[in-house]
């Protein structure tokens, strides 16, 4: 058991992959709420949905559409993206996060993964709140009064669409279907989410679209040389007052690649695929990704 815990701890904290950390956090929260709820049900006989953990997590961690309620639960645009309603809900979200997150980190390093997850989820939350409070389809029936949303789907959609925008012709193999290019996969899910907005889970589909839009815009900005996530993170980094000048020009071969060069290579990948890169370009991208890890 100790070895299993050490393995999980290493995978989450020391493997270098931010995808593993995000999956670990989601699974841990899901297990705490559901195992705790079952234990309380066994000893009290209360309805499983009315157990202490279930009730308070749904009341204070899910994202409400109601603006008055949101004002007293202002933290929920962040917490809702780590909550899941049932085993299959978290299973499919985590599978897609793992598959697409691995590809994303392979080409852009691990530095941006958590930021993309969080900002994708926050954009999805914004879409949900605005839609339920300003679009007639929802305001006419006062749907915001009791509507809530939960799940990592908006964050995962941000990663799916970001990866597909960066590597549109990257091919993955899907069971039954066979080889599929990422651009067609992303387009399929975006169109499906839009159609299902009129269905029973309209709020959830709207958050997916918000996350997808952020993922698309983010990569387009990266390709233009504007890294929105790094720019926001850098605002909170302490700035060093010391300036260091290099006096050894012979080590230029190990210098970090310029941002302009990285952007040119990313643009080439988005247009022609990774295989179109020459050996030198692949080496530059590799050095850039190693610098982004950690």
Backbone torsions φ then ψ of 181, nearest 5 degrees = -75, 145
- Tally of helices (H runs) and strands (E runs) in the chain: 14, 4
Q: Which of 262, 222, 272 is nearest to 115 (CA)?
A: 222
Q: What pLDDT is stored for residue 16 in this prediction? A: 66
Q: Which residue has the tokens 């941006």?
A: 112
Q: Where do the domains of the chain lie, and which CATH numbers do they carry? A: 10-232 (1.20.1540.10)
Q: What pLDDT is stored for residue 62 in this prediction? A: 97
Contact assessment for residue 98 and residue 109, using Cβ atoms and an 8 Å cutoff: no
Please return the burial class of 134, using the count of CB atoms within 10 Å of its CB with bins 0-12, 13-18 and 19+.
exposed
pLDDT in tens, the chain (294 residues): 556 555 555 555 545 688 999 999 999 999 999 999 899 888 888 777 777 888 899 999 999 999 999 999 999 999 999 999 999 999 999 999 999 999 999 988 888 999 999 999 999 999 999 999 999 999 999 999 999 999 999 999 999 999 999 999 999 988 888 999 999 999 999 999 999 999 999 999 999 999 999 999 999 999 888 888 876 655 545 555 555 444 444 444 455 667 777 777 777 776 666 667 777 777 777 666 656 544
CA 208 vs CA 82, 226, 290: distances in Å: 14, 24, 31
Q: Chain centroid to CA 283: how far? A: 27
Token pair listed for 115: 């930021």
| pTM of the complete model | 0.77
Contact assessment for residue 270 and residue 166, using Cβ atoms and an 8 Å cutoff: yes
> What is the rounded CA–CA span in Å between residue 139 and residue 144?
7
Q: What pLDDT is stored for residue 4 in this prediction? A: 55
Q: What pLDDT is stored for residue 46 in this prediction? A: 76
Q: Which of 294, 99, 95, 112 is nearest to 219 (CA)?
A: 112
> What is the rounded CA–CA span in Å between residue 56 and residue 273?
48
> What is the rounded CA–CA span in Å between residue 222 and residue 267?
9
Q: Which of 35, 68, 72 is nearest to 54 (CA)?
A: 35
> What is the rounded CA–CA span in Å between residue 127 and residue 115?
18
Token pair listed for 291: 């610098």
């Amino acid at each position: 058991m100790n070895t299993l815990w050490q393995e999980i701890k290493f995978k989450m904290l020391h493997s270098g992959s931010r995808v593993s950390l995000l999956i670990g956090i989601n699974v841990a929260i899901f297990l705490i709420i559901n195992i705790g709820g079952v234990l309380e049900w066994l000893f009290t006989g209360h309805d499983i949905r009315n157990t202490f953990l279930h009730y308070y997590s749904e009341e204070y961690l899910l994202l409400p559409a109601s603006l008055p309620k949101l004002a007293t639960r202002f933290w929920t645009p962040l917490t809702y993206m780590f909550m899941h309603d049932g085993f299959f809900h978290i299973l499919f979200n985590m599978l897609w996060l793992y598959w697409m997150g691995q590809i994303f980190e392979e080409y852009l390093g691990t530095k941006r993964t958590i930021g993309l997850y969080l900002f994708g989820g926050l954009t999805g939350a914004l879409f949900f709140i605005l839609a339920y409070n300003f679009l007639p389809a929802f305001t006419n029936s006062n749907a915001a009064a009791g509507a809530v949303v939960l799940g990592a789907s908006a964050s995962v959609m941000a990663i799916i669409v970001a990866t597909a925008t960066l590597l549109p012709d990257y091919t993955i193999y899907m069971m039954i279907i066979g080889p599929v290019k990422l651009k067609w996969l992303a387009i399929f899910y975006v169109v499906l989410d839009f159609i299902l907005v009129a269905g029973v889970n309209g709020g959830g589909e709207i958050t997916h679209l918000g996350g997808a839009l952020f993922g698309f815009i983010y990569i387009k900005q990266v390709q233009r040389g504007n890294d929105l996530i790094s720019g926001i993170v850098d605002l909170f980094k302490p700035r060093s007052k010391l300036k260091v000048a290099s006096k050894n020009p012979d080590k230029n071969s190990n210098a970090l690649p310029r941002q302009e060069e990285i952007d040119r290579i990313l643009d080439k990948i988005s247009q022609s695929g990774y295989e179109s890169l020459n050996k030198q370009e692949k080496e530059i991208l590799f050095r850039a990704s190693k610098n982004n890890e950690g």
